[in-house]
């Protein structure tokens, strides 16, 4: 079945035509490891995980590469300000190396919590200094670079289609944005190599043909993507904020160096908003998976919330929506338990499972229309037209661990809990509502969830 994806580069939906049959090379820009990832960053990684799962569902072998930015990302994307790693190091009293190690580990735990499958190749910027220097030398030889007092820069005026990803040529260049040009020739020129400050020793610095210093932020992705995936490769992803600067500059330097496109498809996930603002690591609206856990919300409930909005639409975060997602996911698990194990018997009103499977694949192949795929699943569940077997197959895309939830062995309840439940049942029979409420609170304090329906009360470990 064909796959259609929105390509930021052409600004339209295109049919996916892989470079190699049955294989996809996928590069996703990874985290800058100076702090925890917030749930906005994680929205982008969930989108990329869905993309990868969809490709695998369609029997592609995906070579997924993700970088770890552990040097060179400055507080200002236009190459000014401090290095985020050095700043984080001062904040936490750890070395920049320890900081990178710590937050890389925490990031991988976040991925695990969200059931995001790991890339085939992880690559750290600091492990690829040689490759980055090699690429800068190549650009220098071809006449695309110049030196200023603080580094080696890429001359964007030398490239005729600079800015094509963001359509910068047709816009008044990031109009109204004040860019500190310094010694740069053009506002859009960007650093390939920055010199260490004269009077200060940086924790992370290397020798280079131009002087001691460190690589610019964009060069790492170009160097590592080409090393592991060749050039061109199939798909390059990131969040929408990467379009005007980071990805624009990756394209400029890679295409200038090798005279071929860097990637054929560029895909971008929209923002998670907090109120009207983008959730940002530097802002106060910083929520991590740890915050969710403290509030008793599971990471998979957050994943379920994300599945309900298309990756190209902004999503405004709210605690109410998250709570509703937690309830929705629980409802999905309970509904899944009641489905037949294998193909359900057909009747005239239900759709055939084969049609449902076909429709499901069409939706996910249609630029990852997961929200529609989800409503298709709910419809099928309501009609009892879907088996557990098929739902588990669909969950290869959703990643909600439905199989585990259905097959979870319920631990027997401890004696003290059984006694509290009995007392509460008695109170309810006697219509002693205060007493029954009191006993519910006691059970909840002991981490047990109490749910009353018309006919029964269920008590489960939280």
Rounded CA-CA distance 371/397 in Å is: 12
Question: In the bound complex, what is the minimum distance in angstroms from residue 195's beta carbon to ligand AMP?
Answer: 23
Rounded CA-CA distance 147/157 in Å is: 15
Q: Which is nearer to ligand AMP, 54 or 306 (CB)?
A: 306
Rounded CA-CA distance 236/248 in Å is: 12
Interface with ligand AMP includes 238 (CB under 6 A)?
A: yes
Judging by beta carbons within 10 Å of its beta carbon (0-12, 13-18, 19+), is residue 289 exposed, middle or buried? buried
Interface with Zn ion includes 135 (CB under 5 A)?
A: no
Q: At what angle do helices 39-57 and 353-365 cross, to 10 degrees?
A: 130
Binds ligand AMP (CB under 6 A): choice among 242, 247, 303, 440: 242
End-to-end CA distance of the chain: 42
Question: In the bound complex, what is the minimum distance in angstroms from residue 101's beta carbon to ligand AMP?
Answer: 16
Q: Which is nearer to ligand AMP, 4 or 286 (CB)?
A: 286
Q: Which two tokens stand for residue 121?
A: 């190749």
Interface with ligand AMP includes 31 (CB under 6 A)?
A: yes
Binds ligand AMP (CB under 6 A): choice among 103, 233, 265, 271: 271
Rg of the Cα trace of the chain? Answer: 26
Question: In the bound complex, what is the minimum distance in angstroms from residue 44's beta carbon to Zn ion?
Answer: 12
Instruction: Report the site for Zn ion in 172-231 (rule: CB under 5 A).
Output: 221
- Site for ligand AMP (CB under 6 A): how many residues? 18
Interface with Zn ion includes 29 (CB under 5 A)?
A: yes
Q: Which is nearer to Zn ion, 29 or 356 (CB)?
A: 29
Interface with ligand AMP includes 119 (CB under 6 A)?
A: no
Interface with ligand AMP includes 245 (CB under 6 A)?
A: no
Q: Is 237 left (phi over 0), alpha (psi -120 to 50) or beta?
A: beta
Asked whether 322 and 297 are in contact (CB, 8 A), the reply is yes
Rounded CA-CA distance 340/342 in Å is: 6
Question: In the bound complex, what is the minimum distance in angstroms from residue 39's beta carbon to ligand AMP?
Answer: 8
Interface with ligand AMP includes 106 (CB under 6 A)?
A: no
Interface with ligand AMP includes 88 (CB under 6 A)?
A: no
- Paired with 63 in beta bridges are 25
Tell me, residue by residue from 276 to 315, as one string, x for binding to ligand AMP by CB under 6 A and - for no binding.
--xx-x----------------------------------
Q: Which of 81, 63, 54, 69 shows the shortest CA–CA distance to 23? A: 63
Q: Which two tokens stand for residue 288?
A: 């991590």
Rounded CA-CA distance 193/205 in Å is: 11
Q: Which two tokens stand for residue 458?
A: 């269920």
Q: Which is nearer to ligand AMP, 260 or 316 (CB)?
A: 316
Interface with ligand AMP includes 244 (CB under 6 A)?
A: no
Interface with ligand AMP includes 32 (CB under 6 A)?
A: yes
Judging by DSSP bridges, how do beta strands 457-461 and 233-239 pair with one another?
Answer: unpaired
Q: Which residues bind ligand AMP (CB under 6 A)?
A: 29, 31-32, 40-41, 43-44, 69, 238-239, 241-242, 269, 271-272, 278-279, 281
């Amino acid at each position: 079945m064909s796959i259609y994806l929105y390509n930021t580069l052409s600004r339209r939906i295109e049919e996916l035509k892989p470079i190699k049959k049955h294989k996809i090379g996928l590069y996703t820009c990874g985290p800058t490891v100076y702090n925890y990832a917030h749930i906005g960053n994680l929205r982008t990684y969930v989108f990329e995980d869905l993309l990868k799962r969809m490709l695998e569902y369609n029997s592609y072998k995906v070579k997924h590469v993700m970088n770890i930015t552990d040097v060179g990302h400055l507080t200002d994307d236009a190459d000014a300000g401090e290095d985020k790693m050095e700043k984080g190091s001062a904040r936490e009293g750890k070395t920049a190396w320890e900081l990178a190690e710590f937050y890389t580990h925490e990031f991988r735990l976040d991925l695990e919590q969200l059931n995001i499958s790991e890339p085939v190749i992880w690559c750290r910027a600091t492990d690829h200094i040689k490759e980055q220097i090699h690429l800068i030398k190549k650009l220098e030889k071809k006449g695309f670079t110049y030196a200023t007092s603080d580094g080696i820069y890429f001359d964007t005026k030398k490239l005729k289609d600079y800015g094509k990803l963001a359509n910068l040529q047709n816009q008044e260049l990031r109009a109204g944005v004040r860019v500190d040009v310094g010694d740069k020739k053009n506002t859009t020129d960007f650093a390939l190599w920055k010199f260490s400050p004269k009077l200060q020793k940086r924790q992370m610095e290397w020798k280079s043909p131009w002087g001691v210093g460190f690589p610019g932020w964009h060069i790492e992705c170009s160097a590592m993507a080409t090393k592991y995936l060749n050039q061109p490769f199939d798909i390059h992803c990131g969040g929408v904020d990467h379009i005007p600067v980071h990805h624009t500059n990756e394209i400029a330097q890679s295409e200038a160096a090798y005279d071929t496109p860097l990637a054929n498809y560029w895909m971008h996930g929209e923002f998670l908003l907090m109120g009207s603002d983008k959730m940002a690591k530097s802002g106060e609206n910083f929520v991590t998976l740890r915050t969710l856990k403290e509030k008793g919300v599971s990471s998979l409930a957050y994943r379920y919330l994300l599945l309900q909005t298309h990756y190209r639409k902004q999503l405004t975060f709210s605690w109410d929506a998250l709570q509703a997602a937690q309830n929705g996911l629980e409802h999905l698990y309970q509904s899944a338990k009641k489905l037949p194990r294998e193909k359900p018997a057909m009747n005239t009103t239900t759709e055939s499972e084969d049609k449902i499977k076909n429709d499901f694949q069409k939706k996910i192949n249609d630029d990852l229309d997961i929200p529609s795929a989800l409503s298709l699943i709910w419809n099928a569940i309501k009609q009892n037209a879907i088996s557990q077997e098929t739902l588990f197959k669909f969950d290869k895309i959703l990643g909600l661990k439905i199989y585990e939830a259905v097959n979870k062995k319920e631990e027997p309840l401890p004696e003290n809990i059984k006694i509290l439940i009995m007392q509460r049942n008695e109170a309810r029979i006697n219509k002693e509502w205060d007493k029954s409420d009191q006993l519910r609170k006691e059970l909840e304090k002991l981490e047990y969830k109490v749910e009353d329906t018309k006919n029964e009360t269920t008590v489960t470990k939280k």
